[in-house]
Every structure is written in structure tokens, then in C-alpha cells.
Amino acid sequence: MRKVLPLLFVFLSTSFTAPPAAQEQTVTQEQLLAAAEPFAKLNDLLCRCAEYAAPVVVHIRITQVRSVNPGRTSRTTKMQVEESGSGIIASISGKQVILTNRHVVEGMEPKNMQILTGKRQILSPVNIILNEDFDIAVIEIKETLPQSAAFGNSDQVRTGEFVLAAGNPFGLERSISLGIISAVQRRNVPNTGTAPPRVPFFQTDAAVNPGSSGGPLFNLRGEVIGMTTAIATQSGGNEGIAFAMPAKILLRIAKQLIETGTVMKPFIGFGFDPVFSLAERKNLGIDRLIGAKIKSLEPDGPAGGAGLKTGDVVIEFNGTEVEDDAHIVNLVAEIESEKSVPLKINRSGKIMNINVTPVLQLSR
């Protein structure tokens, strides 16, 4: 105790020593205006982008009857419930439609749906085309609108890029939030539908909340680079982690739905080990957390027919290094044709090259 007290005394005495008086400085408004000029230009850009993008965002209101038990008794009561979502006005294959998430409109009839534009025009939905595997919905409408979304090249999106998220969170129409792209190629995305995500997503810290699903993610050129789909949250609201489907994938799937009413997905016929460890990799001469280990093969599938075996580790798929089992699922989903795909594999420590020809199957 005797050793502690002097040290404590020194700390307290130095902590309360008054700092030397600082000289007062006078800042003029002219100086503030000069310093703020670069920020004013950025602010004007953000305002212009929001103004340009607003007309292509719609508010989707859904009315449905649900059985509820408010008193926690054996009796249930039917109540009319209103839910909210967002959508994007798009022109695809010569047709103007609304794009949104499947989980926003799943099980809904057009008659129970109201679509409201930024100018308070009510649109008339006539048909809803859904796809479960990619969580996308296309809503066909009667009206012709003066503006459709301009889509940007989502392959060029970079981490750190400024973005604007638009939508109707908690039913608050025409809301805009600013953020950045926190990550690209994000695979561990919360499951919003009945199927896990098949494609990589953008991660953003722009505020996205319930009701924002299906809304656009814009770059600062006013181009849609993604569609907000999910959030990672413990509270049920925004915690700075949201996910958007890249525009390239959104447009590819929507185009198929509009032209054929269905989506074709590639099938290769292999399953992977989700707990493939670093120790197992090292035994094969792989010193990094890369590669996906084949755990199962479908009978008569393309993978088995090409000579792949259980235990093989796929190191590269179609020229891209494979990080893990989730990564290769995304890479397979990007295939659009039944053309041969090169694979580099590790079989018992030996590197081999094998070509696999996928087949296209009907997606759910």
C-alpha cells in the first residue's frame, strides 16, 4: 500500500494541472465558406443523385388477412395486416416492370397489392413472376411510366465506393440513406427466403431497415448497381450491415423470368464438405484456407462423368481460385451456358486439370 499511494498522488496532482491559456482565434465566415466549398460540391452531387433516382423507386403495400392470437388464449382472430416493401421500375426486354425480392410479395395476389410511385401514382399490378432460388420477383404492370432505372456495371463496384440506398423503411416513403460499399463478393448472407443465397452480394453500411427490401442501391452517377435484399441484425433494425444483389445478376434472372417465365440454373452434381479444415489441407500440401473438398457426387451427374471423385479438392473453377465451399456454389451459379468449364483439383496431393460440362436445369 505504501508503494501505491505516492504514485496515485502524482497521478492526481498532474491530472488537475491547468493547461496554459490558449490564444483566442477568430474564424471568419469567408474562411468557413472557402473550407466548406469541396464538401458543398459533394453535397450538391448527393442531392442531385437522390433527385434523379427518386422516380424509379416504388413503395409496395401489401394487405393480407392473418390469424392472430393477441390474448395468448386458444382463440384466434383474423386481422387485416398491412406490410411494406420497395421496388425498382425497370425496362427489360422491351417491357416496363417492377423488380423486387420474392420474399416481399410471396403468396400475394395482385389485387391485394398497391404499388405507389414517388409522385403518388398508384400502379396496377397484373402478374407476379417469382423465383425462389435467387429471391427475385418481377411484377408486370398496366401503366407506362416516364422513367426507368439506369443500371450500372456491378462488376466494377469497389470496396469503399459511396452508395445511396433508397426505399420505404418501416413504411416511410422515399427514404434515402448514404453509405459505402463495405465489401464485395460477400457470401455469408442471412437467409431471407427458403433457400440460401446462390450468388455473392455487396455489403453496405447504408441504413437499410424492414420495408427497404427490393429497393435500389445507387452509385453517385444515379445508376442502380444492386437491389437491397437482407440485413444482419440482432435488434431487427439497421445495425450497419446490409446486403444487395449485384445488378448484373438481378438483370440476368429478371430477363429470363420476363421472356420465359422461368429461370435456368447450372447443374454439375457435386456437394462439398463445409468443415474442410486447414489441417486436412496441409496434409494435401495446401498451406492456405483455399479449396473446396468434394463430399458427394450425384449419380450420372456431369462431375462424376468428367472423372471427379469424392475427396478431390477443387482449387480453381473456371479460372478463379476457390476460397471455400460457399464460394464454389456462387461460381457455379454464374454459369449461363452448357459450355465446358476448366477445373484445377488436388487429388491426394497431386494437381490435376479436369473439364466439366454443366447442364442447365429448371430453377425453382
Enclosing H/E stretch for 141:
strand 136-141
**Residue 10, pLDDT score:** 39
Task: Give 278-309 pLDDT, tens digit per residue.
Answer: 999 999 999 999 999 999 999 999 999 999 99
Residues 274 and 258 in one domain: no
**Residue 313, pLDDT score:** 97
- Predicted TM-score of the model (pTM): 0.83
**Residue 16, pLDDT score:** 47
**Residue 232, pLDDT score:** 87
Q: Which of 205, 236, 262 delimits the end of a domain?
A: 262
Catalytic residue of the set 84, 103, 182, 363: 103
> Looking at the domain assignment, is residue 144 inside a domain?
yes
Residues 248 and 104 in one domain: yes
Task: Give 214-266 pLDDT, tens digit per residue.
Answer: 999 999 999 999 999 998 888 888 888 999 999 999 999 999 999 999 999 89
Catalytic residue of the set 205, 213, 327, 363: 213
Residues 245 and 350 in one domain: no
Residues 177 and 272 in one domain: no
> Looking at the domain assignment, is residue 296 inside a domain?
yes
Q: What is the CATH number of the domain that holds 142?
A: 2.40.10.120
CA separation, residue 29 to residues 26, 32, 34, 39 (Å): 10, 5, 9, 15
**Residue 17, pLDDT score:** 52
Catalytic annotation present for 84:
no
Q: What is the CATH number of the domain that holds 333?
A: 2.30.42.10
> Looking at the domain assignment, is residue 255 inside a domain?
yes
> Looking at the domain assignment, is residue 190 inside a domain?
yes
Catalytic annotation present for 175:
no
Contacts of 144 (CB under 8 A, 6+ apart): 96
- Strand-pairing partners, residue 151, are 224
d(Cα 99, Cα 211) in Å, to the nearest integer?
Answer: 14
Residues 319 and 210 in one domain: no
Low-confidence ranges of the chain (pLDDT < 50): 1-16, 194-195
CA separation, residue 243 to residues 7, 77, 87 (Å): 52, 36, 15
**Domain encompassing residue 315:** 265-362
Residues 48 and 197 in one domain: yes
**Number of domains into which the chain is organized:** 2
Catalytic annotation present for 300:
no
